[in-house]
Amino acid sequence: MAKVYDALRRAEDERKRLIGDRDSRSAPLAVKPVGPAAASDDRTPLWKRGPAGLAMRPVPDRSLEINKRRIALLQPDSYVAEQFRALRGRIDAISDQRPICTVTVTSAFPGEGKTTCAINLAIVTSLSLGRRVLLIDCDLRRPKVHQSLGLRPESGLAEVLTGVSTIDDAIIPVEGAELDVLPVRSRPANPSELLGSADMRALIEEVSSRYDRVILDTPAALGLPDAKAVSDLCDGMVMVVRADTTGRTDIQAVLEILDRQRILGLLLNGVDSDQGRYGYAG
């Protein structure tokens, strides 16, 4: 268990670092006075200057990151999309031996690509003829699915679990794909309790009867109980591992925390190659 405790400590340090980064990113924009005395030193173009001649930092463009998360939808014939088809094929092969309807996607730490994997796996799975697919965003802390797919939910998972909304009201179809999404709208104060509740179990049982495959995007497995709570309710799991980032001990810790018998495979993300940035390791 020492490996688990060490990994949990590292996860907590990483969580604090991410919170610090987020706080710094949310700080007000730094401005620099621009006046007669400083005019000769200011090289900021006039069109980039804010009110009253203040030079402001440009807003970061996150469109590339968002497009990467849905590359199988934007570029269905790409090398990356083919890797997710290979993952889909592996899951389908295992489902011939035992029933697999609900699949959890997780990682050891945030930022390793689990949401990208969940979205693209759901997209390529929905390309199968006659197959109904649902993607559920189970990250009630830092949800990204709705933003990545350009959705504007009026209700979501938390509202369904608390009885404020019904499943039918919360599910949104994705334009251009045979895919439905149950997103996150509000972030509750008790995410772990909601994900481990009897209502969550009932929800998964309900959607399992409606859909052929349900993909669930969870928070990272180390440092939070959320992924464990969701994975215990599902038929199998895919773990995302980032090359040169995820440590071997961290992978072993996740396998110890989660039921390794439910692991369907590992997806190796961030691999440099001539063809793409993703690779699959079964």
Q: What is the CATH number of the domain that holds 68?
A: 3.40.50.300
Segment 195-202 mean pLDDT: 96
pTM of the model: 0.71
Calculate the alpha carbon distances from 34 to 28, 47, 50 in Å: 18, 14, 10
Shared domain check, 103 and 9: no
Q: Are residues 8 and 78 in the same domain?
A: no
Give me the DSSP letters along 146-163.
HHHTT---SS-HHHHHTT
Q: What is the overall mean pLDDT for the chain?
A: 77
Hey, which residues does 263 pair with through a beta bridge?
Answer: 237
Helices (H), the chain: 2-25, 63-69, 71-74, 79-95, 114-126, 145-148, 157-161, 167-170, 191-195, 198-210, 226-231, 248-257
Whether 103 and 82 map to the same domain: the answer is yes
DSSP structure class, residue 178: S
Q: Which domain holds residue 143?
A: 63-281
Instruction: Quickly list DSSP for 98-151.
Output: S---EEEEEESSTTSSHHHHHHHHHHHHHTSTT--EEEEE--SSS--HHHHTT-
Q: How far, in whole angstroms, is CA 130 from its chain's centroid?
A: 26
Domain identity same for 69 and 52? no
User: What is the mean predicted confidence (pLDDT) over 131-138?
Assistant: 96
Q: Calculate mean pLDDT across residues 142-164.
A: 93
More confident residue, 57 or 232: 232
* Amino acid in position 237: M
Q: In total, how many domains does the chain have?
A: 2
Segment 207-250, tens digit of pLDDT? 999 999 999 999 999 988 999 999 999 999 999 988 877 888 98
Q: Does residue 12 surpass a pLDDT of 90?
A: no
Together in a domain, 73 and 50: no
Tokens of 262: 């439910």
Residue 182 phi, psi dihedral angles, 5° rounding:
-105, 100
| Pair (151, 219) in one structural domain | yes
pLDDT recorded at residue 277: 45
Residue whose token pair is 């969701």: 230
Give the pLDDT score at 243.
82
In a shared domain, residues 31 and 79: no
What is the Cα Rg of the chain in Å?
A: 21
With tokens 């859909």, the residue in question is 211
Query: Residue 219: which of 139, 124, 274, 136 has the closest Cα?
Result: 139
**Residues 27-39: what's their mean pLDDT?**
37
Q: Say what the pLDDT of residue 16 is.
A: 54
Are 86 and 25 contained in the same domain? no
**Average pLDDT estimate for 128-143:** 93
Give yes or no for residue 109 having a pLDDT over 80: yes
Distance separating alpha carbons of residues 162 and 219, to the nearest angstrom: 20
